[in-house]
Amino acid sequence: MSKTPDSTAAQAAPKDARAWAKALASYNRPSYARGILEIAVSFLPFAALWAAMALLLMHGHWLGLALVVPAAGFLVRLFMIQHDCGHGAFFGNERANDWTGRVLGVLTLTPYSVWKRIHALHHAGAGCLDHRGFGEIATLTVEEYNALSPWKRFKYRVYRHPVVLFGIGPAYLFILEHRLPVGMMRRGWQPWLSTMGTNLAIAAVVGTAIWLVGIKVFLAIQLPVTILAATAGVWLFFVQHQFEETYWERLPEWKRQEAALHGSSHYDLPAPLRWMTGNIGVHHVHHLCARIPFYRLARVLRDFPELRDINRMTLLDSLKTIPLALWDETRHCMISFGEYRRTRMAAV
């Protein structure tokens, strides 16, 4: 009889990251019916909330903007579906995954094929100090920061400031940077086709929406929804990798499975937020087995409770990660600029 996730749970817990990856492989089974349901319960509420805001604002009821927050939440959830499509995890068919991802990319302002390739590079080299720069938040080591000129140190400090990292940065990334195949501009015509095709589709959707509700109402809805969703997405990505005891190593010590299990957090959010974010907080499991559909990640934690406490972080705990900005290779932990200064002064 073939093994199921339930029968897998009866086995002894694996002892290392590579064994965990093998043990969780049986969860890599997407369901078409479940996938269609997840799209429906994500897109239909988003569309309904957008339409309700438009109707309210067109009749002068600006309190309708209170619906921006749940609308942004559903947009985040649509991005998580697109994310699973990029890993080939949402449907069992590659074409179904890719076309679903492309369509959702119009709503999330993300050229799907370009993002898919860059995100694959992130998974392939996450936690490796020798392979930084693709689909991640730029992180310097203490030694690298010491070697910078004063001007470059200032630029890095500005980049890592919370106002930039979680305010200006997300808006710039999704509204402006994604309009060009940044990072893939010299890799042939396909990244350009993905980006320009997405841009044309966005222009058609935006043009239709403006024709229906007017530019004032459109901008009043879409800008805050997009910026709030983008900020939430960047925040999630930040706390999933930028916690104090994350994993960074140089080759040849770097190991992919170890980086996946110990360099990604378990962001243990309240149940409504777990649902809205597509269980992306179970990030250590996701990095171990990226082809597990997001709706099976909670099942993995139920079957293997040993995984719950690995890099577990609550909503309150996650706020402590905000100051972290440098990787200390000697202590193997992330530190803040304040701790960096104190260490430097103590060494003098």
The string of DSSP codes covering 299-329 is HHHHH-GGGTTTTEE-HHHHGGGTTEEEEET
d(CA 94, CA 84): 11
Q: Which candidate, 285, 323, 320, 268, places its Cα nearest to that of 24?
A: 285
Coil, strand, or helix at residue 178?
helix
User: What number is the average pLDDT over the span 333-348?
Assistant: 91
**Residue 8: its pLDDT value, please?**
45
Q: Which candidate, 114, 109, 111, 117, places its Cα nearest to that of 87?
A: 117
User: What number is the average pLDDT over the span 176-202?
Assistant: 94
Per-residue pLDDT of 147-176, as tens digits, reads: 999 999 999 999 999 999 999 999 999 999
Count of all residues that appear for the chain in the document: 348
What is the average pLDDT value for the chain, to the nearest integer?
A: 94
Residue 69 backbone class (left: φ over 0; alpha: ψ -120 to 50; beta: rest): alpha
Kindly indicate the confidence band of residue 11, based on its pLDDT and cuts at 50, 70 and 90.
Answer: low
d(CA 17, CA 102): 33
Q: Which candidate, 267, 236, 242, places its Cα nearest to that of 323?
A: 242
**Residue 338: its pLDDT value, please?**
97
**Residue 305: its pLDDT value, please?**
95
Indicate whether 267 pLDDT > 70.
Answer: yes
Kindly indicate the confidence band of residue 18, based on its pLDDT and cuts at 50, 70 and 90.
Answer: confident
Binning the chain into helix, strand and coil, the percentages to the nearest 5 are 65, 5, 30
Residue 323: asked if its preceding bond is cis (omega within 30°), the reply is no
Percent over 70 (pLDDT), the chain: 96
Beta partners for residue 266, in sequence order: 282, 312
Residue 286: C-alpha distances to residues 3, 6, 18, 44, 291 (Å): 21, 19, 14, 26, 8
Per-residue pLDDT of 269-319, as tens digits, reads: 999 999 999 999 999 999 999 999 999 999 999 999 999 999 999 999 999
Largest CA-CA distance found in the chain, in angstroms, rounded = 67
d(CA 154, CA 341): 14
**Residue 135: its pLDDT value, please?**
85
Which region among 55-59, 181-185, 311-315, 318-322 has the lowest average model confidence (pLDDT)? 181-185
Domain ranges of the chain: 5-347
Question: How far is C-alpha 346 from the chain's CA centre?
Answer: 37
Indicate whether 7 pLDDT > 80.
Answer: no
Long-range contacts of 105-109 (CB under 8 A, 24+ apart): 105/198, 106/198, 106/201, 106/202, 106/205, 107/46, 107/75, 107/78, 107/205, 108/75, 108/78, 108/79, 108/82, 108/174, 108/229, 109/174, 109/175, 109/178, 109/198, 109/202, 109/226
Kindly indicate the confidence band of residue 12, based on its pLDDT and cuts at 50, 70 and 90.
Answer: low
**Residue 186: its pLDDT value, please?**
85
Residue 99: C-alpha distances to residues 28, 73, 92, 113 (Å): 20, 23, 13, 10
Please tell me what DSSP assigns to residue 179.
Answer: G
Please tell me what DSSP assigns to residue 59.
Answer: T
Kindly indicate the confidence band of residue 14, based on its pLDDT and cuts at 50, 70 and 90.
Answer: confident
Residue at 8: amino acid letter? T
Phi first, then psi: what are they for 197, rounded to 5°? -65, -40
What's the token pair of residue 238? 């930040």
Kindly indicate the confidence band of residue 17, based on its pLDDT and cuts at 50, 70 and 90.
Answer: confident
What's the token pair of residue 25? 């492989």
Indicate whether 115 pLDDT > 90.
Answer: yes
